[in-house]
Structures are given as C-alpha cells and as structure tokens.
A and B are shown apart, each in its own frame.
Chain A
Amino acid sequence: MSVNRAKNLGLPLMNLVRLKGAPILEQLHLEERLLRTSSDNWCIVNDGTNVPTIVMGMSGKPSQLLELGPVIQDRIPVIKRFTGRGTVIVDKSTMFVSLICNKDDVPNVQPYPRSVMAWSGSLYGEVFKDYVFGDRKFGGNAQSIIRNRWIHHTSFLWDYNVRNMAYLKLPSRVPQYRLERDHTDFVCRMKDYIERSDFVEKTVKAVGNQFTLKQVNLEDIDSYAKGEHLKSTRLLTLKELEEAMAGTTHNA
C-alpha cells in the first residue's frame, strides 16, 4: 500500500504542477526526472509551449519521420523523448497533460501498455463525454513503464498550424485509425469543440476523482526529486539532422 494514500479521503495523493508556455524540452526533462527519482504521483499540465518543436519517440528515425529539408532550413528543434513512438509537432496551441503514477496507487491498472491506455481512455472519457469528435484525432499519447511506476503523457491539439504539419512525413507504419488520410483529414482542433479553460478544469477534476490533488510549484520540485538519473530525452543536433538527410539522399 502506498504511503501516499490520504487518510481522510482514502484516495492516493497526486502532486499537481501547472505550467504555461514552458518549453517542451524542459517539460520532458522534468517528467523524466520525476518518473525516475520521485516516489510521488504527479500530474503536470502545460498550457502551450513556447516555440514550434518536433517531438519523436524513443525509436524515432528523423529520416523516416520528418521532411528534413524544411526542418533544417527553418531551424525547427527536434527532440527525442524517453517514451514510446508517435511523432508530433507542438506549439503554443498544444496543451499537455502528463500523469506519473506508482503502480500500487492505481491497483486496477496493470503496468503494461494496453492497461494504462485503457485507464487513461476512461479518465479522458469523463472529460470529453459531452463531445463528439467522430473519427478525428485531437491528441496523441505515449508512455514509459519502469519497475514500479509509469508515465502516460498526452499532447492535445487545441489548435494547430497546417504549415507545421508539413514538417512531418506520413509514417511507414500507419496506425489503423489513420487509414490513408493526410494529417488535415484525420486530426481536428479541440477549440472547435471545447473551451480551453473548460478542458483544463475538467481534466483536473477527472484526475481529482481518483487522486487527492496537491498543488506544487515548479521551484519546489527539488525537494521531491533527488539524485542522479538516466536522461534519455534530448535535443537532436543540427549535425545529426544533416547526417540523417544525407543518408536519405544517398539512399534515394
């Protein structure tokens, strides 16, 4: 039984960190640090990020996923993150919600991918139960599972710039939901369906139905997360991107 379980409510404790416009690299570094060095549960909400940035999963190959010519020319930052696959381009119109949990504090959730995704689907089902999005996608998620903890993080397309989507290639392994649609045909803008503030508050409320939330300020994080840890999330260098493009050109 987790020592975080609040005695008065019987719900496990979860620390809530609210950010606005935080750089996505900093957010991901924070998440990886909290996953690996903290023993608490965490909910991180970041309302937008400061500059358009491409974020790939652990196994992401720039040559396969990105239109490298424009990415390099336009100096779009490219990050490789510590969680599983899924490439996104995020900006100030993207909203991020990340949940880091001790497996013992969500005993009905088995710490393997499908179970975690089913749980999060149920949680967000509460947030979006009054909205119908059809077969359009408005967010992408990924996870990392370590021994006794896991993270499930999501980027939500509050709005998006169609031009930014052009930096991403159609992936060679296409998920079923995508069929053969272009980005603009299978994604939708959340702003067409729900108010930005409503989304944040409904999400916090849905999380609050399963955890007792405690607001934590970013400047107090050091007291929760101590020690060295594996740092997998990183910004790819220009040299790496140029070499990836050169490899693609050579193989053409």
Chain B
Amino acid sequence: MALRMWASSTANALKLSSSVSKSHLSPPFSISRCFSSVLEGLKYANSHEWVKHEGSVATIGISDHAQGHLGEVVFVELPEEKSSVSKEKSFGAVESVKATSEIISPISGEVIEVNTKLTDSPGLINSSPYEDGWMIKVKPSSPAELESLMDPKAYTKFCEEEDAAH
C-alpha cells in the first residue's frame, strides 16, 4: 500500500477491524498500540501489504492498518491471471475517498488467481482485510524474497513507529 500510517490512536480505535473476531486462521493475532489488527502467520511489507505463503501459493492483500487509513474502498483494480508481478512494483490500485492508491507487490511471481468478489464487493477489503478481502494469489518466482518481509511483531513495531512520527 502506498501509505505511511501516522493516524492518531484515537482515530484508529474507531476503526477496529471486525475481521479479528471472524478469523478462521485461528492462530492468535496481535493488536498494535493503534488498535488495528496484525495477524500471526503472515509476512508484511513496509508498504502495508501482507503475504500468506502456503506451499507453492502466496496470497496477497493489504493490512488492517492500511484499510483503516484508506477509508471506504469503492473500487479495486487488479491484474489478470497469468500476468506477472514484481517485488516492490505496483500491481493494482484501490479507490477510496476520491483517491486512487497503488498496491505494491511484496514478492515476484505469476498471478494464478484474482479475487473476483472484489469487483462487486470492494468493501471486503475494509471488513475482512486478511480473509475475504484477499486480492491475488501468486506462484512465487523467488521464494527467498519472503525472507526480507517483516514478521507480525516487526510489522506491529513498524506501524507504531510510523504512528509515533506524527
């Protein structure tokens, strides 16, 4: 996500994600000081995208922190299946509150599935950023790229430091 999150903790407290209570990923989550959720078992980019790596498939979306700062998502532009994504390059955009914001891929690979539900229900990104709001599934071309991403604890700290900067 092309964002830096510096919203006040008060503002974020009003945006507590409902996905936390519905998570079928059952592993525990951690809540950053700013009250957006950070899910265990995922890796995170400093541009606020998350990756869930399972075997040869990596699922990508944006974090609860990101969706909270975007506001209501009204449109999502995603790549087509069989297209390529590259680490730290844009692969799409979300539209919210009169703004388009590009989405940055945390890893490189081939797009094998796109979440078509987001066409009619872009708000899933707000209501369920880690589950129903997933964006693309990728076959990673360089699995080692995942090593450079942040674990949940590091990402939580990253968000807190960004918040503290403003």
Q: Interface residues, chain A, CB within 8 Å of chain B?
A: 57-59, 82-86, 103, 108, 110-114, 116-117, 141-148, 173, 230
| Contact B99–A83 (Cβ < 8 Å) | yes
Q: A110-B7, A143-B99 are in contact. Are A85 and B74 (CB under 8 A)?
A: yes
Minimum Cβ distance to chain B for residue A106 (Å)? 12
| Contact B2–A111 (Cβ < 8 Å) | yes
The residue from B47, B96, B166 contacting A113, defined by CB atoms under 8 A apart: B96
Residue of A57, A84, A117, A143 with most partner-chain B CB within 10 A? A84
Which chain A residues lie closer than 8 Å to B99 at the CB level? 83-84, 112-113, 116, 142-145
The residue from B6, B71, B74, B93 contacting A110, defined by CB atoms under 8 A apart: B6
How many residues in B have their beta carbons less than 8 Å from beta carbons of A? 25
Main secondary structure of the interface of A (DSSP, over half): loop
| Contact B3–A84 (Cβ < 8 Å) | no
| Contact A143–B90 (Cβ < 8 Å) | no
Which chain A residues lie closer than 8 Å to B3 at the CB level? 110-112, 145
Which chain B residues lie closer than 8 Å to A85 at the CB level? 74-75, 95, 98
- The 0/1 profile, CB within 8 Å of A marked 1, for residues 91-113 of chain B is 00101111111101000000000
- A selection of 27 A-B contacts at a CB cut-off of 8 Å is A57-B98, A58-B95, A59-B95, A83-B99, A84-B95, A84-B99, A85-B74, A108-B166, A110-B3, A110-B4, A110-B69, A111-B2, A112-B69, A112-B99, A113-B97, A113-B98, A113-B99, A113-B101, A114-B97, A143-B98, A145-B2, A145-B99, A145-B100, A145-B102, A147-B2, A147-B102, A147-B104
Which chain B residues lie closer than 8 Å to A86 at the CB level? 98
Nearest first, the 7 closest Cβ-Cβ pairs linking A and B are: A59-B75, A113-B99, A143-B99, A113-B97, A84-B98, A84-B99, A145-B101
Residue of A nearest to B69 (CB): A112
| Contact A117–B98 (Cβ < 8 Å) | yes
Minimum Cβ distance to chain A for residue B6 (Å)? 5
The residue from A57, A112, A148 contacting B101, defined by CB atoms under 8 A apart: A112
Q: Interface residues, chain B, CB within 8 Å of chain A?
A: 2-7, 47, 69-71, 74-75, 77, 90, 93, 95-102, 104, 166
| Contact B4–A103 (Cβ < 8 Å) | yes
- Complex Cα distance A58/B100, Å? 8
Which chain A residues lie closer than 8 Å to B7 at the CB level? 110
Which chain B residues lie closer than 8 Å to A113 at the CB level? 70-71, 96-99, 101
Which chain A residues lie closer than 8 Å to B101 at the CB level? 112-113, 144-146
Which chain B residues lie closer than 8 Å to A103 at the CB level? 4
- Complex Cα distance A58/B104, Å? 18
The residue from A84, A111, A148, A173 contacting B96, defined by CB atoms under 8 A apart: A84
- Complex Cα distance A82/B98, Å? 11
Minimum Cβ distance to chain A for residue B38 (Å)? 18
Minimum Cβ distance to chain B for residue A120 (Å)? 11
Q: A145-B2, A230-B90 are in contact. Are A84 and B77 (CB under 8 A)?
A: no
Minimum Cβ distance to chain A for residue B13 (Å)? 16
Q: A85-B74, A145-B102, A146-B90 are in contact. Are A111 and B4 (CB under 8 A)?
A: yes
Contacts A83-B98, A113-B71, A147-B2 known; 16 new A-B pairs at CB < 8 A: A57-B98, A58-B77, A58-B93, A85-B74, A103-B4, A108-B166, A110-B6, A110-B7, A112-B70, A112-B99, A116-B99, A117-B98, A141-B98, A143-B99, A145-B3, A145-B101
